[in-house]
Amino acid sequence: MGYFAKFLGISAALLMLSATVVGAEEKDPLKARVPADQMSDAKANKNPVAATPENIAKGKALYEGKGTCFNCHGKNGDGQGEAGKVLNPSPRDFTNCKFHKKRKDGELFWIIKNGSVGTGMISLTPAIISEEEAWTIINYERTFCKGE
C-alpha cells in the first residue's frame, strides 16, 4: 500500500473512532416518542402537581438526588451528565425550548414510566420514583428552558 493510501486509511479509521466516542447525538428531540396508539391517552394525562415555587424546588431536589436524572441529563439540564456522555443517542437536552413546546407533560410522564425504547432512558417509575415524584420532576425540567 502506498504511503498516501495508508494515510487515508488511518485517517478514516480515526474519524470513525472519534465518531463513536464523541459523536453521540440526540435522536431527533422533536419527533414523538410515545407510540401512536397511546398518544391521545398520554396527552390527556394532566399533571396533578401544581408548578408552584415550592414544588419546583422539590422537583430539583428529586432530579439531583433520588431520581438520578442529573447523572445523564446533567445538573444544568443540557444532556451532558457524566453517565450521559457515553450514551448514544444522547440524553435529552432540556434547555431546548422547542422540545418543551412540542411535548405535553403527559408525554414526558409516559417516557419516565415506560422508558424510550432502544435508548439509555429506561423506566424509572415506579422502580426509582413514584408517579407523584415523576410529575414533580417534570415541573422542574420545564424550568431549564430559559427563553421562548
Cβ closest to ligand HEC, residue 2 vs residue 118: 118
Query: Could you tell me how many residues of this chain bind ligand HEC (CB under 6 A)?
Result: 27
CA distance 40 to 84: 30
Give yes or no for a cis peptide into 29 (omega within 30° of 0): no
Cβ closest to ligand HEC, residue 49 vs residue 129: 129
142 scored as a contact of ligand HEC (CB under 6 A): no
Least Cα distance to 62 among 112, 96, 117 occurs for 112
Q: What radius of gyration, in Å, describes the C-alpha atoms of the chain?
A: 19
- Least distance between ligand HEC and beta carbon 66 (Å): 8
DSSP 8-state code for residue 74: -
CA distance 100 to 148: 10
77-136 binders of ligand HEC (CB under 6 A):
83-84, 87, 89, 91-92, 103, 107-108, 111-112, 116, 119-121, 124, 129
Cβ closest to ligand HEC, residue 28 vs residue 54: 28
CA distance 90 to 87: 5
Residue 118 in grid coordinates: 432502544
- Least distance between ligand HEC and beta carbon 51 (Å): 15
Q: Which residues bind ligand HEC (CB under 6 A)?
A: 27, 29, 33, 67-69, 71-73, 83-84, 87, 89, 91-92, 103, 107-108, 111-112, 116, 119-121, 124, 129, 137
